[in-house]
Structures are given as structure tokens and as C-alpha cells.
Structure 1
Amino acid sequence: MSLSKNQIKLITSLQQKKYRTKHNLFIAEGTKVVNEFLNSSFKLIELFCVEAEAYSKVNNCTLISSEELKKISSLKTPNNVLALFEIPKKNKLLNEGLIVVLDDVNDPGNLGTIIRLCDWFGVDQLICSKNTVDCYNGKVVQSSMGSLTRTSIIYTELLEYLKNSELPKYAADMNGENVYKITLPKNAILVMGNEANGISKNVYSYISKTISIPRFGDLQQTESLNVATATAILLSEFKRN
């Protein structure tokens, strides 16, 4: 079955956030990523594949050619399957455990990696400012490698959220206390800032304590760590404590 012009138009439009919001749909691509979503609670709308046998038990499956897959894929090298899933309803905010908060993280690769880190370290909820990159951006979906199915992500007004939460709030800061020399609580909020500007001043007003990852190199000329790398180290320390 060939793709219609309307199908191609819809699918390619979902590469933009405004159309994902309008249609309440997002794209997942590649065998591993699509299979993760198929085995989750996410609702499949339609699946397009070049190998029908692999998805013979999937409803709403359409067999297409490799050339047609290239027309609708955002990948340089499309990987056999592309699927449309419904964006789920907003989850309830948690107020216990370790919660990661992102203040205007803009890079899709960073967000995807942080989602995977939350999944790895057992962080059930990731809170994002409304200016943080959309978690259903194609690059985020790809780089999260299925962890998006297991991590609750909520976009909200950070100031209101931080104001109303009773959990202690920790912020990653170059001038903060050495994270290796303090005891970290089981229930807390870890705030990570924008790649270029760090944490905004308004958000800082709600921070209980700033923590830093010390540099061990002799020259100590590295300006800072990538936000996803820093998140990995800090989550490891929270869990180790």
C-alpha cells in the first residue's frame, strides 16, 4: 500500500512542535525505539514498516517501500519502521523521592540522555520548564532510546512548582559545595540549568543548597561539564548516599 500525499504531509509536519501539539501525535523511528513504545502503555495510532513479517501481530500496520520510508523519516539512514503514537495525558506531580528539574535545557540530545539517566537511576519524574525542549522532539525520542516510556515528564511553571514543593532543592553550581563531601537526602529535587546560562536567577531564589563537581585535572581550565554529564555524576552521588 502506497502512502497518500495527506499521510506524508501529516507525518512530516510532526517534526515541528506546533503540529505535534495540534494533532496530539509524535513520531518514533527504528526497530528498538518503536518496539519499546509498542510494549508500553503508549497508544499506537499507525505503524509503517518495510518488513511486514516483523509486525504481523500489530494492528494499524502499513507496509511501505524503503523509498517511501525515506520520504517520511527524519533520519539520514531510516531503520525499517516508523510509528505514530498518541501523546499521553499529563501525569500527576510527585512530592517524594528524587526528582530532577530542568531549567530551560535546549539541546534535544541532552534531554534525551537525561531521560535515559532518570530511567537508569530510578528517578520516576522529570520536571521541565516550559522553555525546555519538547520531549517528543524526534531527536529526543531517538536519544532517549525507549526510556521515555518509563519516565514521567511534566512541563510546568518552575517557580510555582518549586514554591509549592516542600522537598529540599539542590542546584548544580560551579561554586557550590563539593558533592563528594556531603550527605545527600533520599527525597530531594535536583535542579539543572541551561547549557549556556545555567540556572535562572528567579529559580535560584528557591534553592536550598548548591553543589558542585570538583575538577581534578592539574590545569583546571575546563570551563564546565555538559549538563547531561553533570546530571549523571550527581544522580550517582544522590543514589550512592
Structure 2
Amino acid sequence: MHRQFIAEGSKVALEWLHSDMPIDTIVATAEWHAANTHVIARHPEAAVHIASDDDLTALSALHTPSQVLLVLPYAAAKDVPNVNEWYLALDDIQDPGNMGTLIRIADWFGIRHLVCSPNCVDVYNPKVVQSAMGSHIRVNIYEAPLADALPALSAPKFAATLSGSDVYQAGTHESGVLIIGNESKGISPQVMALATHWVTIPRTGGAESLNAAVSAGILCALLLPR
């Protein structure tokens, strides 16, 4: 069985086309193809198909189809490496928009390793790919039970939780694992028990909680070296 996924939209497609990542198929309108022949030529391995707007509408998973669609191979499965760097560890993230944004956050902060528990939303879901805006290219994404993967990592482990200590007092760290929990249930007890630090973003207003991806972005800005 071929494990493939789709990336749609000119901005996302151009991210892949400017990279050295393999591409299986490029489906584009004649107009888009003509305007981007120079970058399409970087990928002689890709089959190229010219399609009408109606064809792309029929193929698209988006509400507003674009002029180009790529068929891409899944990245080869890898073991989570134990390195002196930062990781994001995601415990059962379910929302595709959150997952895509979390991949972009990892990319923004230069975090090269993102570990997803098996019950996370598929990182190649079309909505995830769209939200990540090409960041799949630069972030290594692993799927593994966090209860198995985290003990093998020597970096300190920071659990994002409402009951944690003030992250503004935590300082910055050269390496670490930032654990972000499920949107409604938070971090599971088994994974929480593996954390070496519990941190929270102090609340001064009335909101009950922060979105998982928003929390991750704030915590990365405060914990990672600047």
C-alpha cells in the first residue's frame, strides 16, 4: 500500500517544491504550471498532470480549491533520538488546526523533534497539512506512546498544566521536552508522572483555559534560549 498524503495551495506547494523533499505527483492548472516551471523542474521525480479548475475542485478537500495540489509520500518511520535539544511531546491532541499550528510553532522556534502519542490526530490529515503551511518539511515527527518514549530522553520534561509553577520564574533551558496535553482532558496521569517540571502561564483574567497551541507558543517563548 502506498502511504501518501495531499498538500494543497500555492504557498504550501511552493514550500515543498523549493525543498529537496520527494514529490510523487503535481496536479496544477495550465496557468499555475506555466508560472512555476522553474521550480517544478527541481523535481524530475514527480509526475505532472495539467488539470482544469473543475478537476481540482473535484480532487480538493478544501472549501476553496487552489490551482495546485501535490501528492506526497509519508516520511519514513523513525525512532525518537535522544539528543541535547528541545522536543514537543503531544498527548492525544485531537484538533487538526491545533496539530498543524503546533507543527508550525515547533518550526518557528527551531524545534526539530515532535513526538505524537498514537491517539493524536493524523499529522497528514489535509487540515493539519494546511495549517502547518509547509513546516512538515523541517520538523521530524514521530509517533510513539509517550510513556515509552519520554523515559528514554535525558532532557528535562516540562508538563504544561494549570497546577504548575509560574513559568515566568522557570528561566530558559538549552534542552527540554515540552509536554502539551489533550484539548479537554489535559496530560494523562501516566505521562504527567514522567514530568520533571510542572509549569503554568499565570492567569490574570477570567478565561478558564488557553488553547493548546497558544499555550505551547507562549511556553516556547519563555523556556527556550533566546
TM normalised by structure 2 equals 0.92
Q: Give the 3-state SS of the residue equivalent to 1:100 in structure 2.
A: strand
Aligned match of 2:136: 148
Structure 1 vs Structure 2 CA RMSD: 1.4
Q: 1:229 to 1:189 in 2, by over 3 A?
A: same
Q: Which amino acid aligns with 2:187?
A: I
Paired residues of 1:55 and 1:61 also in contact (CA < 8 A):
no
Paired residues of 2:173 and 2:225 also in contact (CA < 8 A):
no
State the alpha-carbon separation in 1 of the partners of residues 115 and 20 from structure 2. 20
Q: 2:20 aligns with which of 41, 56, 60?
A: 41
State the alpha-carbon separation in 2 of the partners of residues 210 and 234 from structure 1. 12
Paired residues of 1:179 and 1:211 also in contact (CA < 8 A):
yes
Runs of 4+ in 1 over 3 A off after TM superposition: none
The question of 1:225 aligning with 2:210 is answered yes
CA deviation vs aligned residue, 1:122-165 (integer Å, no higher than 9, x gap) = 10111110111111110010010111111111011211111222
State the alpha-carbon separation in 2 of the partners of residues 91 and 119 from structure 1. 19
Structure 2 matches for 1:200-239, cutoff 5 A?
200-217=188-205, 221-239=206-224
State the alpha-carbon separation in 1 of the partners of residues 101 and 152 from structure 2. 28
Q: Which runs of 5+ in 1 are unaligned?
A: 1-21
Q: Which amino acid aligns with 2:180?
A: M
State the alpha-carbon separation in 1 of the partners of residues 20 and 79 from structure 2. 16
Structure 2 matches for 1:78-157, cutoff 5 A?
78-95=65-82, 96-157=84-145
Q: Give the 3-state SS of the residue equivalent to 2:70 in structure 1.
A: strand
Paired residues of 1:97 and 1:187 also in contact (CA < 8 A):
yes
Aligned match of 2:167: 179
State the alpha-carbon separation in 1 of the partners of residues 224 and 156 from structure 2. 16
Aligned match of 2:35: 54
Paired residues of 1:42 and 1:88 also in contact (CA < 8 A):
no
Paired residues of 1:121 and 1:235 also in contact (CA < 8 A):
yes
Q: 2:152 aligns with which of 164, 167, 186?
A: 164
Paired residues of 2:28 and 2:68 also in contact (CA < 8 A):
yes
State the alpha-carbon separation in 2 of the partners of residues 38 and 88 from structure 1. 16
Q: Which amino acid aligns with 1:43?
A: P
State the alpha-carbon separation in 2 of the partners of residues 63 and 146 from structure 1. 23
State the alpha-carbon separation in 1 of the partners of residues 81 and 190 from structure 2. 22
Q: Which runs of 5+ in 2 are unaligned?
A: none
1:205 Cα offset (Å): 1.5
TM normalised by structure 1 equals 0.86
User: Percent identity between the aligned chains?
Assistant: 38
Paired residues of 2:183 and 2:211 also in contact (CA < 8 A):
yes
1:92 Cα offset (Å): 4.3
